[in-house]
Amino acid sequence: MRIVAGKYRGRKLAAFAGEKIRPTPDRVKESLFEILTPRLTGARVLDLFSGSGALGLECLSRGASEAVFNDGSAEGVSLTRKNLALLGIRAEVRTADYAACLSSLKGQAFDLIFCDPPYAEDYCEDILSRVAEYGLLKAGGLVVYESEREESAEGWRAADYRRYGRVKVFFFEREP
């Protein structure tokens, strides 16, 4: 795993041992960030299922002003902290399940929220509902949701959608 572009381009990141955790492949990250780069300068980002922190770190490398990292596992949080240290970045890192994290961030709006939960879980509708209820997305902001299934939620529309083999990436925005 590496940072694809920006200030930290080419820097290698520490990764999970074994195959239990599924990082976003570099080709998916490259495509994803081709779409998102115009939105990143000065952006406030939440990496809700951070794992290694690769998505939030890529945002910071490309000009985001702030990233908040969260993972429900101690292993994920440890790896996120390790990668932040490797790059010399200071950022907020939380250890909570997604619901507790979102609740604790009430009223703190983000430009981008990344959700890359375990594919076996069906969290999309609940996450989007909480994001709306807690006022966590700025006007014009996006929730980027990675999954293997079709995803939707009331009050949200997929502004964009990409498929990379089995991986589907949805760019959700609030319906007007």
Global pTM reads 0.94
SS3 label, residue 127:
helix
Q: Say how far apart CA 107 and CA 150 lie, in whole Å.
A: 29
What mean pLDDT, rounded, does the chain reach? Answer: 92
pLDDT score for 170: 96
Indicate whether 8 belongs to any domain.
no
The count of domains in the chain is 1
Q: Is residue 160 part of a domain?
A: yes
Residue 88 is assigned to a structural domain of this protein: yes
Residue whose C-alpha is closest to residue 58's, from 34, 92, 82: 34
**Is 106 contained in some domain?**
yes
User: Does residue 18 fall inside a structural domain?
Assistant: no
Q: Do the Cβ atoms of 125 and 98 come closer than 8 Å? A: no
Q: What pLDDT, in 10s, does the model give residues 24-52?
A: 667 788 889 999 999 999 999 999 999 99
pLDDT tens-digit series, residues 149-158: 999 999 999 9
- The domain in which residue 116 lies consists of 26-174
CATH number of the domain residue 41 falls in:
3.40.50.150
> Does 15 map to a domain?
no
